[in-house]
Amino acid sequence: MTVTELFPTLRNLPRADKLKVMQFLVTELAKDEEPALQPGATYEIWSPFDSHAAAHKLAQLLESEPPQA
């Protein structure tokens, strides 16, 4: 069945069924998206905690700002 053949059938569906079709399609599209996170997997993330270089850079930026009145 082609997409053009599907359209009249979809058009005649009740509203609730159209929403179910939409949900199905969105779920299918989401499966194709990357990166896919795997349940139970461990992922490394960056945090500024204990980042002395970031703290130093922030201090420099704050010191370079003129005081506001």
The reply to whether the predicted model has a pTM over 0.75 is: no
For 21-67, how does the pLDDT look when each residue is reduced to its tens digit (9 = 90+)?
Answer: 999 999 988 888 777 778 899 988 877 777 888 888 888 999 987 77
The full set of domain ranges for the chain reads 1-35
Output the pLDDT for position 23. 96
Rounded Cα gap, residues 52 and 44, in angstroms? 19
44 touches 37 (CB < 8 A): no
48 touches 54 (CB < 8 A): yes
